[in-house]
C-alpha cells in the first residue's frame, strides 16, 4: 500500500523547525532543550543559529523537564523537546509536579505522536499523550491540523503564560488554512464545512480525513458539517453544542487512543449539554504496531472510509431516536 500518497511534501515537523527558528529570533529568552533527537524533530536549524540557547540534555527525559522547570522559574521560555512517548511516559512526574503544579511557563512539543511514526518502532507510537496531558491541571493541550496551524499554535503557546503541550506529528497533510492570515485561539474551533446531517469533529491530522469522509458522504447526498478542534484543552464547548444541536449526531476522529483523549473531551460536552448519538474514531484498547502509515490507519479503522461509515451509523441511531420520540 502506498504511503502518504495524498499529502503535501512538508511534514508538520518541518513546519515546527521553521517556526522554532522564527520564534527564536523574536524571543531572546526562548531556550531549546533537546533529548538527543534534534535531527528528527527538525531543531537542527535552531541549534546552528542559536547554539548558546540550545541545551543538549541527552537521553534523560526526566532531567529534560526538570531543567526546563528551573529555567522557567528564572524567567526563560524553555522548549523541552522529545518524542511524545517519552514525554507522556518517562517524564510525566516531572511535567506534573515540577512544571504543572508550579504552573511554570514551559512549552512542550510532543513529536512522533499517534500512528504515523514512519516505522520508528512500536514503542515509539504514543497514543495516550492527549489523555495524559489533558488530565494535568494548568496544562493547555493542542493538536495542529496543518503546517499553518502548527505555526499559529506554537506562536500562541509562547505568548500564553503557563504550561502548554502541543503535538508535532511526523506526517504531511494538505494545508487547511492561509499561511499569512491564520490565527489560533485557545478554546476556539474552526468550522471548515457547513452541514446539517452529521457533525465530523477532527483534531490534528485527522481533520483532513474528516474532510475526505465528508466528500464520500456528499456523493450519497449526506451533508456533513466538519469542525476542526485543534484546541483540546480548553475545548470549544459552544461550537460543539451549536453544531450537535443542529445535526443531532456526531463522529470524532483523533490520531490517538479513544480512551481519555479528544473523543472523550467532545463526548463529555455532548453528554452534559446536548445528548446525541456519537462514535469515536481512533486507536482502540491496544498498542500500535510498527508498519506502513496508511496500512496502520486502515488496520485501526481510522481512514476516511471508516469515518464515513461511523457517520452513517450515528445517523441511523439518530433516526431511531426520532422515531421513538415521536
Tell me the backbone φ, ψ of residue 204, rounded to 5 degrees: 60, -150
Strand 231-233 to 140-142 pairing: antiparallel
Q: Domain 190-325 belongs to what topology?
A: Rossmann fold (3.40.50)
pLDDT at 5 over 70: no
Percent with pLDDT over 70 in the chain: 95
**CB–CB of 36/59 below 8 Å?**
yes
**Distance in angstroms (rounded) separating the CA atoms of residues 209 and 197:** 18
Other beta carbons within 10 angstroms of residue 185's beta carbon come to 12
pLDDT at 325 over 70: no
Q: Cell 431511531 appears where? A: 320
Q: Cell 463522529 appears where? A: 251
Helix axes 237-247, 262-273, angle to 10 degrees: 70
Task: Report CA Rg, the chain.
Answer: 19
Which residues of the chain does CATH 3.40.50.970 include? 12-168
pLDDT digits (tens, 9 = 90+) for 175-230: 999 988 999 999 999 999 999 999 999 999 999 999 999 999 999 999 999 999 99
Which residues of the chain does CATH 3.40.50.920 include? 190-325
- What average pLDDT does the segment 17-30 reach? 93
pLDDT at 242 over 50: yes
pLDDT digits (tens, 9 = 90+) for 123-177: 778 999 999 999 999 999 999 999 999 999 999 999 999 999 999 988 888 899 9
The residue that leads in pLDDT, 116 or 20, is 20
The residue that leads in pLDDT, 326 or 107, is 107
Q: Is 234 helix (H, G, I), strand (E, B) or coil?
A: coil
The answer to whether domain 12-168 has CATH 3.40.50.970 is yes
Distance of alpha carbon 150 from the chain centroid:
9
Amino acid at each position: 500500500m502506498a504511503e502518504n500518497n495524498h499529502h503535501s511534501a512538508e511534514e508538520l515537523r518541518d513546519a515546527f523547525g521553521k517556526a522554532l527558528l522564527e520564534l527564536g529570533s523574536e524571543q531572546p529568552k526562548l531556550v531549546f532543550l533537546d533529548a538527543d533527537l534534534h535531527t528528527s524533530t527538525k531543531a537542527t536549524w535552531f541549534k546552528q543559529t542559536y547554539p548558546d540557547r540550545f541545551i543538549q540534555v541527552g537521553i534523560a527525559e526526566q532531567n529534560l523537564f526538570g531543567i526546563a522547570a528551573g529555567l522557567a522559574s528564572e524567567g526563560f521560555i524553555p522548549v523541552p523537546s522529545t518524542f511524545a512517548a517519552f514525554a507522556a511516559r518517562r517524564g510525566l512526574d516531572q511535567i506534573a509536579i515540577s512544571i504543572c503544579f508550579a504552573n511554570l511557563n514551559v512549552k512542550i512539543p510532543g513529536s512522533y505522536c499517534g500512528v504515523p511514526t514512519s516505522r520508528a518502532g512500536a514503542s515509539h507510537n504514543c497514543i495516550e499523550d492527549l489523555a495524559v496531558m489533558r488530565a494535568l491541571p494548568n496544562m493547555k493541550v493542542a493538536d495542529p491540523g496543518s503546517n499553518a496551524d502548527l505555526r499559529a499554535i506554537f506562536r500562541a503557546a509562547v505568548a500564553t503564560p503557563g504550561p502548554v503541550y502541543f503535538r508535532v506529528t511526523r506526517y504531511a497533510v494538505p494545508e487547511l488554512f492561509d499561511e499569512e492570515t491564520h490565527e489560533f485561539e485557545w478554546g476556539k474551533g474552526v468550522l471548515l464545512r457547513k452541514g446539517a446531517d452529521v457533525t465530523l469533529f477532527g483534531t490534528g491530522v485527522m481533520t483532513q480525513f474528516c474532510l475526505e469522509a465528508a466528500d464520500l458522504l456528499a456523493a450519497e447526498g449526506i451533508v456533513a458539517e466538519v469542525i476542526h478542534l485543534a484546541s483540546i484543552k480548553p475545548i470549544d464547548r459552544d461550537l460543539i453544542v451549536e453544531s450537535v444541536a443542529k445535526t443531532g449526531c456526531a463522529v470524532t476522529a483523533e490520531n490517538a487512543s479513544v480512551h481519555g483523549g479528544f473523543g472523550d473531551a467532545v463526548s463529555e460536552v455532548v453528554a452534559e449539554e446536548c445528548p446525541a448519538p456519537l462514535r469515536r474514531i481512533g486507536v482502540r484498547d491496544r498498542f500500535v504496531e510498527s508498519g506502513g502509515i496508511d496500512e496502520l490507519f486502515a488496520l485501526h479503522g481510522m481512514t476516511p472510509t471508516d469515518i464515513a461509515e461511523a457517520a452513517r451509523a450515528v445517523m441511523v441511531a439518530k433516526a431511531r431516536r426520532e422515531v421513538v420520540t415521536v
